[in-house]
Amino acid sequence: MIKGFAERGLEIHCPRMWDFAQVLNALDFMEEYGLTSLIFHENELLDRVVFPEKYFSMKYMWERFGPRYSRTLNKRYYINNVIDECHKRGIKFIAEVKELYFDEWIIELHPEVINPDTGRLCPSHPFWWEYLEAKMDEFLKYIPDIDGVIVSPGTRESKLSIVANKCGCEACNNSNDAEWVGTLLKIMNDKLTAKDKFLV
């Protein structure tokens, strides 16, 4: 057993996270060496298991994107099974993601997020905070036993951020990057702590 650290995690950052046999091998290793948290690191992990119903009704998804929605439901079921297996062994399960992340279909439903002068997505548009809140609510509804989330906000790995993707509008040009990141973190933290989860 490794001593000296309260939390000792094992991160899987490859397609092996979607192979249950590989996950079981990782959990066996973790038990043997006293590791405390299994971390699934995938930029769009939240988006793999939820399409916020506020925007994507079940009817809409089945009619338009049936196979994709079927995969989403399967991934949701899979993640919950992994969490159950972790908790049986006294191991926490943490998702590591990048935000803002979203499926391109949301742009079709909400084209106002595109700057008409530059044709670029606007990270300053208030819709994104509404969307993130809805996504977090639904993620916690369908993945209720997750222990926490690690987020890297505003990196170049995010699909959209004020740091890397300013659209050229007045709001973006005058934005305070730290305030934008702070808003993102506050939304996620408030949603998680309300359900007794943590944000790193």
pLDDT value of residue 15 = 93
Q: Using the predicted structure, report yes or no on whether residue 194 has a pLDDT greater than 90.
A: yes
Q: Using the predicted structure, report yes or no on whether residue 2 has a pLDDT greater than 70.
A: no
Three-state secondary structure readout of the chain: CCCCCCCCEEEECCHHHHCHHHHHHHHHHHHHHCCCEEEEECCCHHHHHCCCCCCCCHHHHHHHHHHHHHHHHHHHHHHHHHHHHHHHCCCEEEEEEEECCCCCHHHHHCHHHECCCCCCECCCCCHHHHHHHHHHHHHHHHCCCCCEEEEEECCCCCCCCCCCCCCCCHHHHCCCHHHHHHHHHHHHHHHHHCCCCEEC
Q: Using the predicted structure, report yes or no on whether residue 163 has a pLDDT greater than 80.
A: yes
Q: Using the predicted structure, report yes or no on whether residue 7 has a pLDDT greater than 70.
A: yes
Q: Average of pLDDT values for 145-149?
A: 99
Nearest alpha-carbon partner for 87 in 133, 43, 46, 146: 146
Q: Using the predicted structure, report yes or no on whether residue 5 has a pLDDT greater than 90.
A: no
Q: For the chain, which domains are there?
A: 9-199 (3.20.20.80)
Q: Using the predicted structure, report yes or no on whether residue 69 has a pLDDT greater than 90.
A: no
Q: Using the predicted structure, report yes or no on whether residue 166 has a pLDDT greater than 80.
A: yes
Lowest mean pLDDT, pick from 26-30, 101-105, 147-151, 183-187: 101-105
pLDDT value of residue 155 = 78
In angstroms, the Cα distances linking 52 to 29, 49, 119, 135, 138 are: 35, 10, 25, 5, 6
Split at pLDDT 50, 70, 90, the class of 3 is: low
- Residue-wise pLDDT tens digits, 114-134: 999 999 999 999 999 999 999
Query: For residue 189, how many other CB atoms are within 10 A of its CB?
Result: 17
- Residue-wise pLDDT tens digits, 13-25: 999 999 999 999 9
Q: Using the predicted structure, report yes or no on whether residue 1 has a pLDDT greater than 60.
A: no
- Residue-wise pLDDT tens digits, 39-65: 999 999 999 999 999 999 888 888 888
